[in-house]
Amino acid sequence: MAAEQDGGEKTPMTAPCRCRGFRWLYVARLAVASAVSIIAVAVIIRAVVVLLRPEKLQLRLAEGRVAVDYISSLPPPGNTVTFRFLLRASNPSGRASVVYTNVTIRLTDVSVPRAIAGFDLGKTMVVSQRTTREATVKVGLTPAEDLPMAYVRSLFEGRSVGGVEMEVSGVLATRVAVARGGGVASTTSAAASYYRWPVTIAVVDDGEAEAALLQASDYSAHDTACLDKSEAPAIA
């Protein structure tokens, strides 16, 4: 319809069209704002997931071996056989520190198979962002009780034990420092195991074991990687 004005002229009624145009513009803006909000929430959730995801601790065994103090007699002096080795733990993350607790070591002769020895590490490995920490291990084992006599005799005779698998097991937790407030956010702790094969258990002369560990702490080119369960190859 058209409305008459002075002079008999008629003009179109444009107001309803303008209202409809404004409504469509409002709907379009609302849709864009909603999409932006959804994307922003998704980005935030993704950032939080990435920030708090568990970090993979990297473990290496210095020189791929376990050193045994020289055994001068049977039974050994003090009825103890001393094992020494060095573990190197690295954390490549730039945002989280890693804590490895309740760590146990298990040595297995996979050719039999037969357990050689098992013991607690006795240390908590705390590795800050982009750093490496070392754990020097020295443990005394009682023949027959902690260490089968067949291996004690081999070591007494100066023969190394090769083809050994080392299993390192513990509880791994990731801690993320919060910039504001100074709190600490921690992921759920989870069991984590690492495997190294082959490892050689070798006898060294008196005094050489300590020197070997000191040398290993200064030189890491001959470190051998301990792989987690998903990476470790099956041992035939």
Question: What does the pLDDT read at residue 177?
Answer: 63
Q: How many domains does the chain have?
A: 2
Question: What does the pLDDT read at residue 26?
Answer: 66
Q: Which two tokens stand for residue 46?
A: 């993704």
Looking at the structure, tell me whether residues 150 and 222 fall in a common domain. yes
- Tell me, yes or no, whether 233 lies in a domain: no
- Tell me, yes or no, whether 3 lies in a domain: no
Q: Does residue 204 carry a pLDDT above 90?
A: no
- Tell me, yes or no, whether 2 lies in a domain: no
Looking at the structure, tell me whether residues 151 and 184 fall in a common domain. yes
Read off the pLDDT of residues 67-123 as tens digits, 9 standing for 90 and up: 999 999 999 999 999 999 999 999 998 888 899 999 999 999 998 889 999 999 988
Looking at the structure, tell me whether residues 194 and 90 fall in a common domain. yes
Looking at the structure, tell me whether residues 45 and 61 fall in a common domain. no
Looking at the structure, tell me whether residues 22 and 97 fall in a common domain. no
Q: What is the pTM of this model?
A: 0.70
Question: What does the pLDDT read at residue 220?
Answer: 60
Beta bridge partners of 169: 104, 193
- Tell me, yes or no, whether 4 lies in a domain: no
Question: What does the pLDDT read at residue 236?
Answer: 43
Question: What does the pLDDT read at residue 182?
Answer: 53
Looking at the structure, tell me whether residues 130 and 105 fall in a common domain. yes
Q: Which two tokens stand for residue 73?
A: 């007699």
- Tell me, yes or no, whether 34 lies in a domain: yes
Looking at the structure, tell me whether residues 97 and 203 fall in a common domain. yes
CA 224/CA 197 separation, integer angstroms: 9
- Tell me, yes or no, whether 66 lies in a domain: yes
Question: What does the pLDDT read at residue 34?
Answer: 74
Q: Does residue 235 carry a pLDDT above 90?
A: no
Average pLDDT in the 190-208 region? Answer: 87
Tell whether the torsion through CA atoms of 138, 142, 146 and 148 is positive or negative.
Answer: positive
Confidence of residue 142 (pLDDT cuts 50, 70, 90): very high
Read off the pLDDT of residues 14-48 as tens digits, 9 standing for 90 and up: 555 555 556 667 667 777 777 767 776 655 555 45
- Tell me, yes or no, whether 202 lies in a domain: yes
Q: Say if CB 100 and CB 131 are below 8 A apart.
A: no
Find the domain containing 84 and state its range: 56-228
Looking at the structure, tell me whether residues 62 and 30 fall in a common domain. no
